[in-house]
Amino acid sequence: GQRQQVGRVPLYPGHIPTSPLQKALLAAGSACVALWDPYRHDMVAVLGETTGCLALPKLRDRMRNDPEGYRILQERPRIRLSTLDMARLRGLPDGTLGREYVRFLEDNKVSPDTRMPAKFVDDEELAYVIQRYREVHDLMHTLLGMPTNMLGEVVVKWFEAVQTGLPMCVLGAAFGPIRLNARKLQVLATELVPWAVRSGRNASCVLNVYYEQRWEQSVESLREEIGIFPPPAVRV
């Protein structure tokens, strides 16, 4: 029948069909590795795909019900080095999204191309949603003003967990702090997490922003538009 078909036939380039049991095993294995080393994006990625079956359709519906989000789903933009005009972004004024995004990539020595393509999501449109979520992750760092160190990553995960309900974010937010020292934990608990949670609740869906058309907008005005509160003045 239909169900067996889904189990065997790839639904988009790179798709790996998996059974519920395989998904559970992948999720368990990748959760252990992801908690131990949150920089292993591959494991964090697998965890998100294999456990996101409830959150992903909700995210897609939020995109479908928003004019800008709907256009993103229709046009399927990708944030990659091949689609970015880095020289133009570098030439934008300080404080603009484009300029600050490039500064974030350079300061933290990261590239948008290190985001793994979706493999285990059994729906082509949902595979795009999680791909988009991954590609805007660095823009979340830019908007929230957080570096890619452990503390910054945990803060972004708290924001994303409240925003998306994706289990990998919830896990990262809950267990990331086990690797932090006492002073950082205190700053995290008293200032950064409350701000990230308040911002995540207050903000409109961050997947409904066509960032590629906002490069010239100031980070501050985009923050205000989305509903992200100004970051606390602490060193991260």
CA angle 222, 228, 233 (to 5 degrees): 105
> Token pair of 161, please?
């967990």
Alpha carbon distances (Å) from 81 to 84, 88, 105, 107? 5, 13, 11, 16
- The annotation status of 137 as a binding-site residue, yes or no, is yes
Long-range pairs of 151-156 with CB within 8 A, sequence gap ≥ 24: 151/180, 151/184, 151/187, 151/188, 151/192, 151/236, 152/236, 153/38, 154/180, 154/188, 155/188, 155/192, 155/193, 155/196, 155/236, 156/196
- 75 annotated as belonging to a binding site for a ligand: no
Q: Is 15 annotated as a binding residue?
A: no
Sole residue written with tokens 């452990």: 150
Strand partners, 96: 218
Q: For residues 152 and 146, is the Cβ–Cβ distance under 8 A?
A: yes
Q: Tell me whether residue 49 is annotated as binding.
A: no
Annotated binding site: 137-138, 141, 153
Which residues does the annotation place in the binding site for Zn(2+)?
137-138, 141, 153
